[in-house]
Chains A and B, each alone.
Chain A
Amino acid sequence: MTDPRHRVLIPVAVLEGETISEALIESLAGIPVVILGYHVVPEQTAPEQARHQFESKAQAKLDGLEAAFADHGGSVTTQLVFTQSDRKTFERIAVEHSCDALLLLNPLQSLDKVLITVRGDVNVDNIADLVSDVFGPIDATLTLFHVVPGAEVPDHDDPDQLLTSVEDALTDAGIDPARIEREIVDAPSRGQSPLEIIIGAADDHDLVVLGESAPSIRDRILGEPAWNVATQTIDPVLVVRRSVLEDDEDGAAGTGEGEDDNAADEHSEDPTLE
């Protein structure tokens, strides 16, 4: 059974000079992407007011990115949004366009080493599926990375077993086992928080894959961990959406809209908005 290809949302702050590096466009050309050109407007300003002044400039930049993807044979949808709340916009567009992951941009020279962080509490098959979809076509090393949070946190899976199950799922999906590496780090013995360890490990890699965490009060105050990684490393961060992480194995219940049958997905992904 072939799964439908996963779709990735790439938010680009088009008016702040943010762009998608050539290497990244090349790497992502194999999967459908939604480029979200956005501009954050301060609350003193009506979004309509910003649109009035900046729409054509922003649209031109977005069109440039779309053309760059199309040159590499990628399937692209674009959307331009003026917003006062970037997080709300990302969430909404991700749901509307059935995206399973979000790519937080940082510049990329070349994509040779991918750091895939694996938590104990997520759906292994869905992650493997998404990872093989996105990184299958490119020739990069995939490092499965697990941080043991600490003795006091009961971790239902043995870390070794956890990574083995991911590795098996990846090889089942057709990834060459030679491309897969694994690393387990014990947080308490390093005296660092899991987040700090991931940020440290990111320095040796070109791109980080992270799972979105369940929203908690702490995250509301300190920010979603994935975003912190994105701002504190020089790597792009692929954030796998919660809906994907939590999907049941049978896939029917609670599945995101992107999990429909193959044919429907193939049709819905290519049209660009007029």
Chain B
Amino acid sequence: MAGDPTDVTPDTDETADVVSADATKRESGTELERSITLLGGLSIGIGTMIGAGIFVFPGLAAGQAGPASMVSFAIGGVIALLVALPTAELATAMPKSGGGYYFISRGMGTAFGAVVGISLWLGLIFASAFYLVGLGEYAVATLAEAGVAIGGGPLYIVIGAAVGVGLTLMSITGTENTAALQNIVVGLLMVLLGGFLSYGLLDSIGIFGAESTPETFAPEGWLPVLTTAALVFTSYLGFAQVATVAGEITDPGRNLPLAMVGSVIIVSLFYILTMFVATSALGREALEAAGEVAIVEVAREFFGVPGAVIILFAGLLATLSSANASILSSSRALFAISRDLIVPPGASRINLKYGTPHVALLLVGGPVVALVFTGQTAILAEVASFLHLIMYGLICVTLLVIRRRDPNWYEPEFTIPGYPLVPIVGALSSFGLILFMDRASQVIGIFVLLGAFGWYYYYARAIRLKQEDSDD
């Protein structure tokens, strides 16, 4: 099975593709329709991100860093923006499914591409598992609110795993129609959260209700602010998912940058506001004690039981949408690397009955469910962030490399402001954030990277991807 050390050139010469607003026209004459609108792109980005930052992290973040945790979210938002801009430029030059993997493999060569592609697939698996554990917590809290007595034991893990199995099977049988549903869910969440946070903001600055007692802003000093930024960065893992559907988005030159940058800015504002409201409404200790469902207690503080119920419902929706979006993105990542023969092409075979990539979805759903059983929210989140940050940093490096080399085919419709500072700072901060992670997460992340490289060395060493060496 190991690749012979002779050159293997996959059938991926896409330089001849003609990209129009509504379709990609291949050299053979076959066209691939683009059907995802700007709103759909924003909804993928926001829908993937918003689940974690608001509904899982506030308790953990406030516990670690106090009110300064809003700075942690702001740091995350700035890094995400610094990476989203280069990603958008690369995506408009290469609007192909596969996102970050695609750019890196074409810009930096097969080895980097393979490591990133494999770790993107696995990183999204860690992220999906993290969202599902969060979903389990929300389901248990909902049951508790409804007065259902819960015995001890890890019920939330069982629920999370069951939902993971359900989502995978639904994706395989093609019965879901999540794109339309996702738009509605995201719209609903924005309205609910917008109303809730506006009220909370007015309350916190003392328009109504008693002015809250100001707490020490950074009770543990500034190092926890950075470690918290590393922890909560998982809340920003959605913008690059927009790039994984770059081949399907309409008018990619305009809609890709808008969807990526727009979704990062929108969720950043939501996160910072959430932390401000949460830490103003409840003290740090109360938030920490409430753990993953801290935001529910904030809602209860403002609106009583109805508020708590609405936010519980919103939390279930948001974590479900994040988990689903990540599972689908992960399967796209697997397709991208199997198309380039970095993993066996069988991994992305399409089921004849349902028209869905059943092998890829099982290769995502299976590990996701297994990881849910660890129940380790923080580690799952950090490993996911670790693997994504490696890719983000390399995306920034890729932009620098490609711009320097300036090949003929590189004609981005969107060029970033602040070159070369933005990608340089983006790369340094992406790699730098990893240093502030928990030791266990770093070790797991490094093992995954080594494993990915090992696979490349064993299986895919002989593969030459076309664009990387064209017109040098």
Contact = CB atoms under 8 A, between A and B. Distances in A.
Interface stretch (B24-32, B135-143, B286-294, B416-424): B24-32
A47 B33 contact: yes
B3 to A, nearest CB: 20
A92 B23 contact: yes
B61 interface: no
B361 interface: yes
A84 B179 CA distance: 11
A43 B178 contact: yes
Interface string A13-56: 00000000000000000000000000011111111111111110
B33 A48 contact: no
Interface string A255-270: 0000000000000000
A48 to B, nearest CB: 5
B97 A48 contact: yes
Given A50-B355, A84-B248, A45 B350 contact: yes
B35 interface: yes
Contacts of A52: 339, 348
A52 B31 CA distance: 12
Interface string B149-183: 00000000000000000000001101001110000
B30 A83 contact: no
Contacts of A274: 29
B35 A80 contact: no
B33 A46 contact: no
Interface in A67-123: 79-85, 88-89, 92
B271 to A, nearest CB: 28
Contacts of A50: 350, 355
A81 B97 contact: no
Contact of B33 (A55, A59, A81, A273): A81
Interface residues of B, number: 35
Q: Chain A's interface: helix, strand, loop or mixed, by majority?
A: mixed
B354 interface: yes
A220 B23 CA distance: 23
Interface centre among A43, A46, A51, A54 (most CB of B within 10 A): A46
Interface stretch (B118-126, B328-336, B392-400, B452-460): B328-336
Given A80-B29, A82-B31, A82-B32, A45 B248 contact: no
Contacts of B357: 44-45, 49
A213 B335 CA distance: 40
B407 to A, nearest CB: 22
A244 to B, nearest CB: 22
B227 to A, nearest CB: 37
B203 interface: no
Contacts of B30: 51, 55, 59, 80-82
Contacts of A92: 22-23, 33
A82 B33 contact: yes
A81 B331 contact: no
Contacts of A54: 350
A54 B357 CA distance: 13
Contacts of A47: 32-33, 247-248
A45 B350 CA distance: 8
B201 to A, nearest CB: 36
Contacts of B23: 81, 92
A42 B174 contact: yes
A274 B355 CA distance: 28
B349 interface: yes
A84 to B, nearest CB: 5
B106 interface: no
B171 A44 contact: yes
A92 B23 CA distance: 9
B356 interface: yes
A46 B355 contact: no
29 contacts: A44-B171, A44-B328, A45-B356, A45-B357, A46-B247, A46-B248, A46-B332, A47-B32, A48-B97, A48-B335, A48-B339, A49-B97, A49-B348, A49-B350, A50-B355, A51-B30, A52-B348, A53-B350, A59-B30, A81-B23, A81-B30, A82-B30, A82-B32, A88-B22, A88-B33, A88-B35, A92-B23, A92-B33, A274-B29
Given A81-B33, A92-B33, 11 more contacts: A43-B177, A44-B357, A47-B32, A50-B350, A54-B350, A55-B28, A82-B33, A83-B35, A84-B33, A89-B33, A92-B23
Closest 9 CB pairs of A and B: A83-B33, A85-B35, A47-B32, A46-B97, A42-B174, A81-B31, A80-B30, A84-B35, A273-B29
